Structure 1
């Protein structure tokens, strides 16, 4: 053994005792399989969260409104719910200062269908008002059960 290799070995031993043994790198093939596994798990979690949140969720969207007269308005809206659920929605007609000038609770019963696309339906309701409204909205919807 030469003097330089002895010095290198001593320096290496000294560094290992001070900082620990050098890390071994993970083989490229193992890294690739770990990345593929992580991507599969992430995709599975995404599908689980997406499907889990849409099943049984109650949503409503304003579609439109018609101001019929100074004392009446029609409000069009869409409700997505479970097919066998009964829900109620609070519909408001507002004036230009966003004050409620008319409101109505609409009850929506179970509906027919078996596809997930059948969960959504459009509705129109007439609302009596105290004064002329300028817009109609669905404030909220809730399960009656």
Structure 2
């Protein structure tokens, strides 16, 4: 017989839980929690700065106006570009087939607008296509390098 006293229900259940799942881990100290919070805040500030600086490029907006399919090998895309009148941008124009495959692609360079102060200009680009296109438009535009 054992000389130890009877086990209390609380001790018995905590032993069962410890045996089944292991001993509970200690929580982080207050100093460790503050260090983790400070590190997360630092990463957030750096990330926000990165995205804010990435958005400082020139504002370029496009609007698809229309397209015309001449035949299975050619199409024309009409679009407008709104940009700084003195900026040079490049726009990727694409033609799509009925199953949304790209069947034509061309990069158009749009230079400064000259004497006009209006930022929106209209453009027409002719594309060669490898099969019949059913749609066309601007895929994306970006600021052109000064060396381009």
Q: What TM-score range do you get, normalising by the shorter chain?
A: 0.5 to 0.7
- Segments of structure 2 that go 5 or more residues without pairing to the other structure are 1-54
TM-score normalised per structure 2 = 0.58
Match of 1:68 in 2: 70
1:114 CA displacement: 5.1
Deviation at 1:134, TM superposition (A): 0.1
Residue number among 79, 101, 108 corresponding to 2:103 in the alignment: 101
| Large movers: runs of 4+ above 6 Å | none
Cα drift, residue 59 of structure 1: 0.5
Are 1:130 and 2:95 counterparts? Answer: no
Q: Aligned pair 1:141/2:124, yes or no?
A: no
Corresponding position of 1:111: 113
Q: Which has the higher helix share?
A: 1
1:1-145 equivalent positions in 2, closer than 5 A: 56-113=58-115, 115=117, 118-145=118-145
Mark the CA change 1:132 to 1:114 in structure 2 (over 3 Å): closer, same or farther. Answer: closer
Give distance in 2, aligned partners of 1:68 and 1:142: 28
* In structure 2, C-alpha distance between the alignment counterparts of 1:97 and 1:108, rounded to whole Å: 30
Report how far residue 123 of structure 1 moved. Answer: 0.2
The number of residues matched between the two structures is 89
CA distance in 1 between partners of 2:121 and 2:116 (Å): 13
- TM-score of the superposed pair, with normalisation by structure 1: 0.59
What are structure 1's unaligned runs of at least 5 residues? Answer: 1-52
Q: How far does residue 82 in structure 1 lie from its aligned partner after superposition? A: 0.5
